[in-house]
Chains A and B, each alone.
Chain A
């Protein structure tokens, strides 16, 4: 079945780095844009970044621009989020999500992973 599985979360000190992964299965990964969305404890959803189906286009929320990098390896059906210079306010559950249609980046998010928790604390 169609599935996204995130990994790589954990506890990290402020200023350090972490790389999240999202393994996709059950669909043609290389045909869809992919997003990262985060949710701080007890808070709402915040869009983080998107990458086009072929990796040629990437967009970021202002809150992470210059610190986070989204990438993908279509040969491995895997999406990544490299997070540098982490701050306490980056503490959240990080979800990867699939764009619902075609090769667009601007589509609804029809498949979500279960999320991976990132805690930034000294």
Chain B
């Protein structure tokens, strides 16, 4: 199984500041035949289902604000929120969909400082 490890577990950032969440996979999720990273980022707010933010490691889902950016390749990935807004307080998960079981990271809790 591919193990997904996020860091940090929790993060407090001031409004308007940058937030950075890291995700590392235990093996590469880059599929060589199409050069795509099978990595997604989700946001989950209390009492709600997860919401897809980023797929293919760096493609923003329709309707997601452009302050959310995904980057990285192979085994190391980053979700960056360029200017934190109050509505960004949530749990964030990375997930690999390269191979079953489609594992998630443990989650990173993002709060306002």
Contacts and interface: CB of A to CB of B under 8 A. Distances in A.
Interface size class of A (residues with CB under 8 A): 20 to 34
B7 interface: no
Interface in B74-113: 93, 95, 97-107
Given A108-B55, A115-B49, A62 B101 contact: yes
B52 interface: yes
B72 interface: no
A109 B52 contact: yes
Interface residues of B, number: 25
A35, A109, A112, A115 — most chain B CB neighbours (10 Å): A109
A113 to B, nearest CB: 7
Nearest to B48: A114
B21 interface: no
A6 B99 CA distance: 25
Contacts of A59: 100-101
Given A61-B101, A107-B97, A112 B49 contact: yes
Contacts of B103: 47
A109 B40 contact: yes
Given A100-B55, A112-B51, A44 B106 contact: yes
Contacts of B40: 108-109
A106 B44 CA distance: 21
Given A44-B105, A95-B50, 9 more contacts: A35-B102, A45-B42, A47-B104, A50-B102, A106-B38, A106-B97, A106-B102, A110-B52, A110-B61
Interface of B: 38, 40, 42, 44, 48-52, 55-56, 61, 93, 95, 97-107
5 contacts: A45-B44, A50-B102, A100-B55, A114-B49, A115-B49
